[in-house]
Amino acid sequence: MRDKKIFIYAEDDCGKVNSAYFELLSKACEINKTIEAQDGAPAELCAVAVGAAGEEAMKSLVDSGADVVYNIKGSKLDVYNPSVFSEALTQLCKAEVPYIFLFGSTAQGTEIAPTLGVKLHTGVAAHCVDLRIDGEGAFVQDVPAFGGKVIGEIITPDTLPQIATVKPGLFQVTKLPSKAAKIVSFQPILDEVESGGIVLKEVHIKKRNSLPVDKAEVIICGGFGMGCDENWELLEKVANYFEKSAVGCTRPALDEDWAVDEGTMIGTSGKTVRPKLYIGAGISGAMHHVCGISDSDFIISINKDENAEIFKTSDLKIVGDAVRILTALEKRLSKE
């Protein structure tokens, strides 16, 4: 009998399904192999969509490789409202009692997951970097602490669901066999819920001139060692020589206002990236940054300080002035 259910929050992303869903589904599928070996039956993998999931989103959920798609509908659910969404999800959890509930650590996920933790009086593991079922059947959630210097194992032994949020970009998407998931409509009772306490007035979508860092294949990243605004432009110039490239930054560069888009910050409190090539210029290698780049295929670092921490995490190290090296690199690239 398949009595365990793994819920995965399918967040709306401008009419599409947020990519975190597919990453989590791939991971859930991996976990499910252990569950199947231990229980004799796999858990049911369930997508959970709240609000008016459009045709395109529904189709990609049905084809995603999940067993079930819960479509939570209601008049108060047309626009994102964290308190109403949380109440709707709580009612679904009470009805279906999922074993595990996974969220991406997005703005929505990080608001709703801890709220559900209170409403269902259960544990929530935050920003997990890995998930597994151990030999005794416990769901082990690896959470980072101290900027990622330390990873701690967290379990929620006595309460359900076991809720975890996972940083987008960490788990790779594997194509799952499509099996046309069963759609289950769920209508929560929301008459009593006050929806006027929090109202989403407007969504200000930021126009980007380049790829978001977590989608880029080449990242030219600058830190405090870039020294000034003018030098910062050099990163853009070098990035222009690569397809699917983006300029990233560290917290100090953002604090100096050299980098203006906080969405390009890489690290534990920013984006996690896994490009083919990462070039770090003038970056010391604080743990909270290193954590965000450690899955990159190839890491090149340039720093004046030969003892810079970032060198330990690099495939190639260059001890020298980042501005001089990048200037020479730009010149050389112009001949390609």
Residues 19-78 close enough to bind other proteins by CB under 8 A: none
The binder of other proteins chosen from 48, 50, 281, 300 (CB under 8 A) = 300
256 binds other proteins (CB under 8 A): no
User: SS3 letters for 256-318?
Assistant: CCCCCCHHHEECCCCECCCCCEEEEECCCCCHHHHHHHCCCCEEEEEECCCCCHHHHHCCEEE
Nearer to other proteins, 1 or 14 (CB): 14
Least spacing, CB of residue 321 vs other proteins, in Å: 8
Using a 10 angstrom Cβ sphere, with 0-12 exposed, 13-18 middle and 19 or more buried, the burial of residue 212 is: middle
Nearer to other proteins, 8 or 62 (CB): 8
Relative orientation angle of helices 229-239 and 322-333, to the nearest 10 degrees: 30
Residues 6+ apart with CB under 8 A from 168: 18, 19, 20, 23, 104, 105, 106, 214, 272
Nearer to other proteins, 172 or 178 (CB): 172
Length of the chain: 336
Give the span between the Cα atoms of 292 and 54, in whole angstroms: 33
Site string for other proteins, 124-163 (x = CB under 8 A): xxxx-x----------x--xxxxxxxxxxxxxxxxx----
Least spacing, CB of residue 240 vs other proteins, in Å: 5
Size of the site for other proteins (CB under 8 A): 110
What amino acid occupies position 235?
A: L
Nearer to other proteins, 68 or 112 (CB): 112
Q: What are phi and psi of 206, to 5 degrees?
A: -85, 130
Q: Sign (positive/negative) of CA torsion 132, 1, 159, 268? A: positive
Does residue 35 sit in helix, strand or coil?
helix
Say which DSSP state 161 is in.
S
Is the preceding peptide bond at 161 cis, omega within 30 degrees of 0? yes
Least spacing, CB of residue 306 vs other proteins, in Å: 9
242 binds other proteins (CB under 8 A): yes
Give the span between the Cα atoms of 204 and 201, in whole angstroms: 10
Does residue 212 sit in helix, strand or coil?
coil
The binder of other proteins chosen from 43, 246, 253, 283 (CB under 8 A) = 246
The binder of other proteins chosen from 26, 34, 60, 269 (CB under 8 A) = 269
- Segment contacting other proteins (CB under 8 A): 2-10, 38-46, 63-71, 289-297? 289-297
The binder of other proteins chosen from 37, 95, 97, 118 (CB under 8 A) = 118
The binder of other proteins chosen from 12, 36, 96, 217 (CB under 8 A) = 217
- Segment contacting other proteins (CB under 8 A): 56-64, 69-77, 119-127, 222-230? 119-127
18 binds other proteins (CB under 8 A): yes
Give the span between the Cα atoms of 25 and 28, in whole angstroms: 5
Give the span between the Cα atoms of 26 and 23, in whole angstroms: 5
Nearer to other proteins, 67 or 251 (CB): 251
Q: Sign (positive/negative) of CA torsion 277, 282, 285, 288? A: negative
Site for other proteins in 175-194 (CB under 8 A): none
The binder of other proteins chosen from 36, 110, 132, 183 (CB under 8 A) = 110
Say which DSSP state 25 is in.
H
203 binds other proteins (CB under 8 A): yes
Residues 6+ apart with CB under 8 A from 328: none
The binder of other proteins chosen from 32, 64, 106, 231 (CB under 8 A) = 106
- Segment contacting other proteins (CB under 8 A): 25-33, 66-74, 118-126, 221-229? 118-126
Least spacing, CB of residue 131 vs other proteins, in Å: 13
